[in-house]
Structure 1
Amino acid sequence: MNQEGFLSNINTILNQVVLGTPLYKWALALVVLLFFLLLKNLFSAIIVKSIRTVVSRTKTSIDDKLLLMIESPLRFLFVVIGLWLALDIINLRADILQHFVRSLFIIMVFWIFYNGINVFTDDIYKFSQKFGKELYKEIGSFLIKATKAFIVTIGFLAILQEWGINVTALIASLGIGGLAIALAAKDTAANFFGGLTILADKSLKIGEWVKVGSVEGIVEDLGMRTTKIRTFEKSLITVPNQYIANNPIENFSRRNVRRIKMTIGLVYDTPGETMKKILKDIKEMLENHPGIAKDQTMLVFFDKFNDSSLDIFIYTFTNTADWIEYMAIKEDINLKIMEIVEKNGSSFAYPSQSIYIEKVPEKLTFFDDSRNSTEH
């Protein structure tokens, strides 16, 4: 085949029409798109890197944060321009092309605002401290999530408006469907206002040990709709804010003492004087113990005559709410009570029964296997 014939075949192939567009235009559109993708990578590797070096030398951090806001959207801009030119080359209808490109620009703009929330997260938390330092993390997290949801919603509505959809008329025309959506969103609204109620009441915050209904654990996140609680089995439970707002909350982290309540049983042959001495020694030990809260209720009493023990009731509080410290104090008290009981010559009782026979018959009759009786 000569050169003219080869070129003729190439020309024929390139002029083949695919989906109403010659093949050479498809190839040119692909080349243009790949070229702008290459420019995007060069922009990231050279220009952005150079700008980052410059802003890192300034005293303020605002320029660094602004660069982080626009860096990803600017890279996306190269993709938008490449798609725009590529679609124009393949003769896509002008109105669709314009709407598509404008939609991408809208996404890019709202992307910058969304990045701004992530970049200025620390500043939002500092701002939320004005509403109270105790719950600034929860308030800041709530503001961040609410603002992100607002940005995404407005961006979505802007894209609908760009494509000629009248958002106001669309909502008004939903009719029964809108009512159904409103009813479906009822729980979402209730959870939202439940979250606001939790923040207003300051009933819990991140890091606290709480119990709501049957759910008990450490609060990990307080969101607009739900609160996440990590149980002591390390499973994560997501609780609707509405449920938390409408149920009693037991907040263990906000107590400064923890209760010790126990009943110990001594053997029945413990003399009365020994019992009095044991009660006195236990009470003195608790009053002098460094881990016991002296301003709280303290009870040490001979409580009752149980079936197999003489019961002593002990009721007091530790001066800490920390679980590990509480267990250490409780262990020390248990050991000291053992020492007191042993020192006074008594011992702890265990469940038992004694059977007393007033008189044993002189003759007992036993039956053997052959059912013949024998007297002894």
Structure 2
Amino acid sequence: MNTMNQETAQLLQQIGFEKSDLNWATQVVLILGILLMSYLITLIFHHLIMPAVRKITARTKATWDDYLFNDRMMKAFCRMIPPITWYILLPFAFDEKSLYLLHILLKASLIYLIITALMLIKCFLDSLYEISSEHETLKNRPLKGIYQMINLIAIGVGFILIISILIDRNATAILTGLGASAAILMLIFKDSILGLVAGVQLSANDMLRPGDWITMTKYGADGYVIEVSLTTVKVQNFDKTITTIPPYALVSDSFQNWRGMRECGGRRIKRSLFIDMTTVHFCTPEEVNQFVQKGWITAPTEGNEPPVNLHVFREYALKYISNHPEVNHNLMQMVRQLQPTTEGIPVEIYCFSNTPDWIPYETLQGEIFDHLIAMIPEFGLHIFQRPAGTDFQPNEKNEFITSK
């Protein structure tokens, strides 16, 4: 600061002024002139340079410059003009007798400049986030937490610089002193540090993207990811409630991501019909002829045992889903018999819809099973169902018998 004061004195001497001759009236005039000059420079930048930059960016084919030189960025840069002007010109308005006041005003200008620089950095990071949100490769990456961490680091550096200005100490000396309290700082910023590390892992391993449908039972999350920030991951559940999850929990715990289902273009149908085992039998000649006429089986050769009605039903069900227009025929289709249980023989239908959307999927699933349940009696089979009160009716002796 002494060097600056000496250079200012030499400059004033060259134009015919002596700093020692400055009275209070001259100082007031000079200060008002400096304030007026900073105002005029800001006005020129706001009304001439900013519109010119807008016109230039509007003519370019690239879109990134529209974000980097948007109104927020230009206004943030405009806020830096007054403190820069004050810091450069204020030494001209003070003599050696007013160095203490000049020292305070220069400190205030520097602090103001640091604050406006932090605001510019935040606007710059917001613009970067908007650019990455539009980019095909980056838009699905959880980058918001990384930008927030960079902004937090910038705020920390700015805070240290402000402290160093206020106490007239070098910033490195303050950083050395903070090293002793690193454990306390890590405790204070534990969630932010863990969130940053988790965000990098989620992004690097492509584990999570905004828009993914995830399920995490531990936190009651079952819905779409709407935001991935430094400290929270917001999930909008299907009942429109919002669940917040710490990012590091997604790395340390297990969660289910349904993105693969959407990318494959289909949603799995995996449901069973339980067949009453007592209705499974070899087909009678009449049933064989009926099935052959309907095209469900080919006529058996002489000497071969007749087909089993359950096998005919499985072949029919597979042919039905294979020809259904809303079933995705590029993915697996299967009708299989599972381990018999006390509830009957499970016959599982396994296929995929041609859309991952929920409502069309449920409509298709209902349509398939409505049809198969209605067709089961055609094969001499019955669905296993536990008896209800209406299945028992009293006879003349008031003895309850089944209604079948």
Q: TM-score range by the shorter chain?
A: 0.5 to 0.7
SS in 2 for 1:351: coil
CA separation of 1:359/1:271 partners in 2, compared to 1, >3 Å: closer, same or farther? farther
Secondary structure, in 3 states, of the residue corresponding to 1:188? helix
CA distance in 1 between partners of 2:339 and 2:129 (Å): 60
> Shift of the alpha carbon at 1:247?
1.2
1:211-360 equivalent positions in 2, closer than 5 A: 211-214=215-218, 215-255=221-261, 256=264, 257-264=267-274, 272=281, 273=283, 276=310, 278-290=313-325, 291=327, 295-300=332-337, 303-304=340-341, 306=343, 312-320=346-354, 322=356, 323-341=358-376, 343=378, 349=385, 351-352=387-388
Deviation string 1:302-348 (CA, Å, 9 cap, x unpaired) is: 94564xxx554323121446123321220220221133135457665
2:106 pairs, out of 91, 95, 98, with: 98
> Following TM superposition, by how much is the alpha carbon of 1:223 offset from its aligned partner in structure 2, in angstroms?
2.7
CA contact (8 A) 1:48 1:71 kept: no
Aligned mate of 1:202, from 206, 211, 216: 206
After superposition, the Cα gap between the structure-2 partners of 1:76 and 1:261, relative to the gap in structure 1 and judged at 3 Å, is: same
Q: Secondary structure at the match of 1:207?
A: coil
* Aligned pairs for 1:1-376 within 5 A: 46-47=47-48, 50-51=51-52, 54-55=55-56, 58-59=59-60, 65-66=68-69, 68=71, 69-75=73-79, 77-78=81-82, 93-121=101-129, 123-124=131-132, 133=137, 137-138=140-141, 140-163=143-166, 164-173=168-177, 178-214=182-218, 215-255=221-261, 256=264, 257-264=267-274, 272=281, 273=283, 276=310, 278-290=313-325, 291=327, 295-300=332-337, 303-304=340-341, 306=343, 312-320=346-354, 322=356, 323-341=358-376, 343=378, 349=385, 351-352=387-388
Report the AA paired with residue 197 of structure 2: F
Label 1:351 to 1:279 Cα distance change in 2 as closer, same or farther (>3 A): farther
Q: How high is the TM-score relative to the length of structure 2?
A: 0.61
List per-residue Cα deviations over 1:40-76 (Å, max 9, x = no partner): 9965874356535653675476876447433343256
Partner of 2:117, secondary structure, is: helix
Structure 1 gaps of 5+ residues are 1-27, 362-376
* Residues in 1 aligned to 2:61 and 2:323: alpha-carbon distance in whole angstroms: 58
Q: Closer, same or farther in 2 for the Cα pair 1:58/1:305, shift >3 Å?
A: closer
Partners of 1:38 and 1:341 in 2: CA distance = 86
Helix, strand or coil at the partner of 1:225 = coil
Cα distance change of structure 1 residues 66 and 249 upon mapping to structure 2, 3 Å threshold: same
Q: Supply the AA of the counterpart residue of 1:160.
A: I
Say how many residue pairs are matched.
Answer: 324
- Distance in 2 (CA, whole Å) between partners of 1:116 and 1:334 is 56
CA distance in 1, matches of 2:363, 2:82: 64
Q: Give, in angstroms, the shift of residue 352 of structure 1.
A: 2.9
Identify if the C-alpha distance between structure 1 residues 79 and 177 changes in structure 2 by more than 3 Å, giving closer, same or farther.
closer
Residue 3 of structure 1 is matched in structure 2 by: none
* Equivalent residue, structure 1, for 2:304: none
Question: Could you tell me which amino acid in structure 2 is paired with residue 259 of structure 1?
Answer: I
Q: CA deviation at 1:205?
A: 1.4
Flag structure 2 segments of 5+ consecutive residues without an equivalent. Answer: 1-28, 288-308, 399-404
For 1:157, what is the secondary structure of its paired residue?
helix
Could you list the per-position Cα deviations for residues 200-230 of structure 1 after superposition, in whole angstroms to 9, with x for gaps in the alignment?
A: 2212212111113432211122233332222
Change beyond 3 A, Cα 1:190–1:56: closer
- Root mean square deviation of aligned Cα: 4.7
TM-score normalised over the length of structure 1: 0.65
Could you tell me which amino acid in structure 2 is paired with residue 105 of structure 1?
A: L
